[in-house]
């Protein structure tokens, strides 16, 4: 029966990064050794668990041997005293075994938890060190799948599969040794099954490995699609895509189910085969053992003893088959987790890079209301600010020298871009969608590196500066604001964790929005909800502005930052934004004409090139591309 082909629309849901295209080896020893290395933090418990596991392997065959000895000895001889002693010994062995089993279970769980915690922490740390290009390429759901389902499968492999398998194999080994010591002729019959078991395992292991890996990959696609769908629920409902998305999701679920069913069918063939093989050899042992008893070459008691040991030898085979399947799942999960951990960043800071000095030497740029009112005067946003009494500008000098850049180096989106922003200048970026405005911002903030040319900050090429030191002097407010779960106060302090509540209130007061934040249901203690869902778009944007000011940045980036704020609130923010930008170098993706008029430089971009630059007045006087844009947009309102 052929499975239904996925509809063409599902092609976009398949992995595009090639991360799942590499071959996998079933039960690769290198992965096992690497996983075992994570137990170093609990080496004492790990070693104790290994000892307990080996002892447990010997204890299980010991039960069979002791039971056979009681049957052949006291029971056969009708010796009540010896029978009591035998039962006491059996009970003592049971108590010791169960007592050790308690510690084995506890240590296994603790070791598994230790490994899982270390893996999750390492994945999180490695992901945070990836550049922004990584998150544009890899879906969020894939990362979540690695941290959840894949690492959970590793937990099962560590705390269950590994030690249970050792016990089962150990039990078979100890039972084999006792059987060989008891009757080597009968043992040769048992040993004859080894090639058969090897052939069966070799026949199924590659198929099981392939299906297990395919099942894990399909589940990752399900997780990625679920995360994407929940994140875009507003769009889904707004365009009435519920039924369509449900159909796509059901197709992914059907795809995942096909792999799981194929895996279950294969396992359902392997396990009965192993069981049938065991029963077949039991029948051979009965035939050969019975013949020997008839011939007087073996006693009935000896046959009973051997069969009890043989059962102890054959019983683990079905369990080992099940553990083998779980081991494949764990190895597939470990392979994917380590592939994520081992994914090298597309770029990292140069080892010789040094911190970007802050010429302010820690001096706070947050001034009092009185000073700010004096600085702002009574003028409007469109009037120049009197800065004669302010300290020297603490802005950052930014220079682009013949910069070419492409997210894919083979397809540049910026071409030979050159300009200079003096400390404290406002640079407005103007252009249609796709003209390169966001790409310039990405290079200024060192979220990406130029493909060709140089980006200089305070006269230093950006590659020679540590990202951490640059970002500590950066204030970023985007059109799509992002808040973390927690309170308003916690989100405001995100840019400066050491800030006191008074510092936060002072920053909000400077931006003339403290009253709006205090008007929230619980003031600064109001929970914002996931991604700020408990607040309006304007309230979220206000928090982002205050957060940026609290960082006291030298470089400010406003990417359509006022688009989510209503006209009344923006009017209150105009002077406050002037305070935020004063003395700081700023890059503003222009959204309103009032912003552009204040800029010392306006860069007009088209198709990744600067086609015009100058002040607002200069560009209008040239009657070029900018003047045409200005005339076009002023006909429909103030928005540019």
Question: How much is the average pLDDT of 349-364?
Answer: 74
Q: What sign does the CA torsion over 506, 507, 511, 516 have?
A: negative
CATH for 577: 3.40.50.300
Strand-pair partners of 403 = 417
Same domain, 374 and 332: no
Confidence of residue 384 (pLDDT cuts 50, 70, 90): very low
- The dihedral formed by the CA atoms of 42, 48, 50 and 51, expressed in degrees to the nearest 10: 170
Percent of the chain with pLDDT over 90: 8
pLDDT at 399 exceeding the cut of 90: yes
- Residue 7: what pLDDT? 34
Helix (H, G, I), strand (E, B) or coil at 295: coil
Nearest in space to 38 (alpha carbons), one of 112, 109, 104: 112
Last residue of a domain, one of 292, 325, 341: 341
Last residue of a domain, one of 341, 358, 392: 341
> Tell me: the pLDDT tens digits for 548-600?
888 888 898 888 766 556 666 666 666 667 777 778 898 988 666 666 777 88
- The dihedral formed by the CA atoms of 472, 475, 480 and 483, expressed in degrees to the nearest 10: 60
Specify the higher pLDDT residue, 158 or 272.
158
Does residue 322 sit within a domain? Answer: yes
Question: How much is the average pLDDT of 26-44?
Answer: 80
> Tell me: the pLDDT tens digits for 601-615?
999 988 889 998 888
- Residue 390: what pLDDT? 34
Q: What is the mean pLDDT of the chain?
A: 77
Same domain, 561 and 629: yes
Same domain, 56 and 201: yes
Question: How much is the average pLDDT of 9-34?
Answer: 52
Terminal CA-CA length for the chain: 60
Question: How much is the average pLDDT of 455-468?
Answer: 91
- Residue 375: what pLDDT? 38
What is the rounded distance in angstroms from the CA atom of residue 205 to the CA atom of residue 218?
A: 20
Same domain, 334 and 383: no
pLDDT at 2 exceeding the cut of 50: no
- Residue 461: what pLDDT? 92
Same domain, 206 and 97: yes
- Residue 559: what pLDDT? 80
Nearest in space to 457 (alpha carbons), one of 469, 447, 467, 465: 465
Does residue 497 sit within a domain? Answer: no
Q: Of the segments 131-145, 174-188, 329-343, 573-587, which one has the largest average pLDDT value?
A: 329-343
Confidence of residue 242 (pLDDT cuts 50, 70, 90): confident
- Residue 391: what pLDDT? 34
What is the rounded distance in angstroms from the CA atom of residue 303 to the CA atom of residue 292?
A: 9
The answer for residues whose C-beta is within 8 angstroms of residue 464's C-beta and 6 or more apart is 350, 352, 353, 354
Confidence of residue 507 (pLDDT cuts 50, 70, 90): confident
CB atoms within 10 A of CB 241: 16
Confidence of residue 403 (pLDDT cuts 50, 70, 90): very high
Among the residue ranges 222-226, 269-273, 417-421, the one predicted with the least confidence is 269-273
pLDDT at 361 exceeding the cut of 60: no
- Residue 166: what pLDDT? 79
Same domain, 459 and 565: yes
Same domain, 296 and 391: no
pLDDT at 518 exceeding the cut of 70: yes
> Tell me: the pLDDT tens digits for 269-323?
776 776 666 677 777 777 888 888 887 777 777 777 777 777 777 777 767 777 7
Same domain, 375 and 450: yes
The whole domain housing 175 covers 29-341
- Residue 291: what pLDDT? 84
pLDDT at 213 exceeding the cut of 90: no
Among the residue ranges 86-95, 245-254, 422-431, the one predicted with the least confidence is 245-254
pLDDT at 504 exceeding the cut of 70: yes
Does residue 82 sit within a domain? Answer: yes
CATH for 126: 1.20.1560.10
Give 3-state DSSP helix, strand, coil % of the chain, rounded to 5. Answer: 65, 10, 25
The answer for residues whose C-beta is within 8 angstroms of residue 111's C-beta and 6 or more apart is 39, 42, 45, 46, 49, 158, 159
pLDDT at 27 exceeding the cut of 70: no
Does residue 496 sit within a domain? Answer: no
Does residue 323 sit within a domain? Answer: yes
Same domain, 327 and 373: no
What is the rounded distance in angstroms from the CA atom of residue 556 to the CA atom of residue 477?
A: 8
Same domain, 337 and 400: no
Specify the higher pLDDT residue, 191 or 49.
49
- Residue 386: what pLDDT? 35
pLDDT at 17 exceeding the cut of 60: no
Q: Of the segments 118-127, 174-183, 241-250, which one has the largest average pLDDT value?
A: 118-127
Same domain, 314 and 432: no
Same domain, 323 and 460: no
Confidence of residue 91 (pLDDT cuts 50, 70, 90): confident
What is the rounded distance in angstroms from the CA atom of residue 114 to the CA atom of residue 177?
A: 36
Does residue 132 sit within a domain? Answer: yes
- Residue 358: what pLDDT? 77
Does residue 362 sit within a domain? Answer: no
Percent of the chain with pLDDT over 70: 80
Please state the domain count of the chain: 2
Residue that has been written with the tokens 């996983």 in this structure: 35
pLDDT at 173 exceeding the cut of 60: yes
Does residue 24 sit within a domain? Answer: no
- Residue 535: what pLDDT? 78
- Residue 360: what pLDDT? 62
């Amino acid at each position: 029966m052929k499975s239904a082909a996925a509809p063409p629309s599902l092609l976009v849901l398949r992995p595009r990064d090639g991360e799942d295209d590499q071959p996998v080896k079933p039960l690769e020893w290198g992965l096992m050794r690497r996983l075992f290395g994570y137990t170093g933090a609990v080496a004492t418990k790990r070693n104790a668990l290994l000892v307990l596991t080996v002892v447990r392997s010997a204890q299980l065959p010991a039960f069979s041997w002791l039971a056979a000895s009681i049957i052949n000895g006291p029971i056969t001889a009708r010796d009540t005293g010896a029978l009591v002693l035998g039962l006491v010994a059996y009970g003592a062995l049971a108590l010791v075994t169960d007592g050790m089993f308690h510690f084995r279970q506890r240590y296994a769980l603790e070791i598994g938890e230790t490994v899982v915690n270390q893996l999750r922490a390492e994945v999180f740390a490695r992901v945070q060190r990836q550049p922004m290009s990584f998150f544009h390429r890899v879906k969020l759901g894939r990362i979540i799948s690695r941290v959840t389902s894949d690492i959970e499968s590793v937990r099962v492999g560590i705390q269950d599969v590994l030690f249970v398998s050792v016990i089962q194999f150990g039990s078979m080994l100890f039972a084999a040794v006792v059987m060989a010591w008891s009757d080597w002729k009968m043992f040769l019959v048992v040993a004859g099954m080894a090639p058969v078991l090897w052939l069966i395992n070799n026949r199924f292991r590659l198929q099981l490995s392939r299906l297990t890996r395919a099942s894990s990959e399909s589940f990752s696609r399900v997780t990625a699609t679920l995360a994407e769908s929940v994140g875009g629920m507003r769009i889904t409902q707004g365009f009435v895509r519920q039924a369509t998305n449900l159909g796509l999701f059901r197709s992914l679920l059907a795809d995942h189910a096909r792999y799981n069913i194929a895996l279950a069918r294969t396992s359902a063939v392997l396990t009965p085969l192993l069981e049938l093989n065991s029963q077949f050899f039991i029948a051979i042992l009965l035939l050969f053992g019975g013949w020997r008893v008839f011939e007087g070459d073996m006693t009935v008691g000896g046959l009973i003893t051997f069969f009890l040991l043989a059962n102890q030898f054959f019983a683990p085979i079905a369990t080992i088959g099940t553990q083998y399947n779980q081991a494949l799942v764990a190895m597939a999960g470990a392979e994917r987790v380590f592939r994520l951990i081992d994914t090298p960043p597309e770029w990292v800071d140069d080892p010789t890079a040094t911190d970007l000095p802050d010429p302010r030497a820690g001096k706070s740029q947050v001034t009092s209301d009185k000073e700010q009112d004096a600085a702002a005067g009574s003028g409007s946003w469109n009037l120049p600010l009197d800065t004669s009494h302010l300290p020297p500008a603490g802005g950052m000098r930014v220079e682009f020298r013949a910069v070419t850049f492409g997210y894919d180096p083979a397809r540049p989106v910026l071409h030979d871009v050159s300009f200079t922003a003096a400390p404290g200048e406002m640079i407005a970026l103007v252009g249609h969608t796709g003209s390169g405005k966001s790409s310039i911002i990405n290079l200024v903030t060192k979220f990406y590196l130029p493909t060709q040319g140089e980006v200089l900050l305070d006269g230093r090429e950006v590659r020679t500066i540590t990202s951490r030191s640059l970002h500590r002097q950066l204030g970023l407010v985007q059109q799509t604001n992002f808040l973390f779960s927690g309170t308003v106060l916690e989100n405001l302090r995100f840019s400066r964790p050491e800030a006191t509540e008074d510092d936060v209130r002072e920053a909000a007061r400077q931006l003339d929005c403290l009253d709006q934040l205090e008007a929230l249901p619980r003031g600064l203690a109001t929970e914002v909800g996931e991604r700020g869902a408990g607040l309006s778009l304007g309230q979220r944007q206000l928090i982002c502005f205050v957060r940026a000011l609290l960082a006291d940045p030298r470089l400010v980036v406003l990417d359509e930052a006022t688009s989510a704020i209503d006209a009344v609130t923006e009017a209150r923010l105009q002077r406050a934004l002037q305070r935020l930008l004063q003395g700081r170098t700023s890059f503003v993706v222009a959204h309103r004409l009032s912003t552009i008029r204040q800029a010392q430089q306006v860069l007009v971009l088209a198709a990744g090139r600067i086609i015009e630059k100058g002040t607002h007045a200069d560009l209008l006087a040239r009657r070029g591309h900018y003047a045409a844009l200005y005339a076009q947009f002023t006909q429909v309102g103030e928005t540019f």
